Amino acid sequence: MNMSWLFKFTALLILSSLCGCAGQRMPQTRMSAMAETDICRIAIMPFENRTRDDRAATMAYRVLMAELIGSGQLEVEPEGDVGLFRLRHRLFPGERLLPDQYADLARQMKVDAIVRGRITDIGYDSSRGERDIPYIALQLDLFDVRRGHPVLNTIHRRYGDEYRKMMHFGVITTTTGLMARMSQEIIADWSEKGVGNCP
């Protein structure tokens, strides 16, 4: 009787831990047919905000930048230098660069590529449990400024409770924490596709 209870408890424990890992959405990345992944130095352009949250794009942009710098996978141009370039060329967040602006960017900042981003959805969902669960949807483009063509496009959407390991452990409860985790997944995905990892 006691062994049966122990066996059932162990089986339930294993099943719940497996369920925590199942169904996780990873970044969907499409590589361009002309893509070359010899990219080491990038500039991250401020993200376009397609949400009602005024701070969403700035938060996502800065969190991705911090995670990229922390990973050491790519060398990231400082935010201030990118801001000066945008000011000189009168560029708004999310605005596409013209071909001559790509050449200026490559020449002035010595970058190989830029990252453009769009935050398409962000907020808290109260229908997923006893607490509000954050969610974020975003799209990133990596564009080679030396050759003038796209390298890859990544779409990623996550809920904070998708990281649940067991019971409530692992649930992310803030949009900033969720963006950091999503950024780590995107960086790992890009690394698997050969982007970065420069000497």
**Interval 132-163: pLDDT, tens:** 999 999 999 999 998 888 999 999 999 999 98
pTM of the model: 0.83
Minimal CA–CA distance to 97: which of 149, 151, 58?
Answer: 149
Q: What is the pLDDT at residue 60?
A: 97
One-letter amino acid at 166 equals M
pLDDT for res 14: 54
In a domain, 17, yes or no: no
Question: Could you tell me which residues come within 8 angstroms of residue 67 by beta carbon, excluding any fewer than 6 positions away?
Answer: 180, 183, 184, 187
Mean of the per-residue pLDDT values of the chain = 86
135 within some domain: yes
Q: Is residue 197 part of a domain?
A: no
Does the residue 126 lie in any domain?
A: yes
Structural domain boundaries enclosing 181: 26-192
Q: Look-up: residue for tokens 């996978």?
A: 73
9 or 34, greater pLDDT: 34
Please provide residue 92's backbone torsions phi and psi, each rounded to the nearest 5 degrees. Answer: -90, 160
Residue 175 amino acid letter: T
Backbone angles phi, psi at 32, to 5 degrees: -75, 150
Helices (H), 37-174: 56-71, 79-89, 99-109
Could you give the number of structural domains in the chain? Answer: 1
β-strand 133-144 against 75-76: which pairing, if any?
A: unpaired
Q: Among 61-70, 79-88, 161-170, 179-188, which is the least confidently predicted range? A: 161-170
Q: Residue 198 falls within a domain, yes or no? A: no
- The residue whose two tokens read 């162990």 is 10
pLDDT tops 70 at residue 187: yes
Q: What is the CATH number of the domain that holds 173?
A: 3.40.50.10610
Averaged pLDDT for residues 58-80: 95
Report how far Cα 61 is from the mean position of its chain's Cα atoms.
9
In a domain, 112, yes or no: yes
| Backbone phi, psi, residue 124, to 5° | -125, 135
Q: Answer yes or no: is 31 within a domain.
A: yes
Strands 149-159 and 133-144: antiparallel
Say if CB 47 and CB 165 are below 8 A apart.
no
Residue 153 lies in a domain: yes
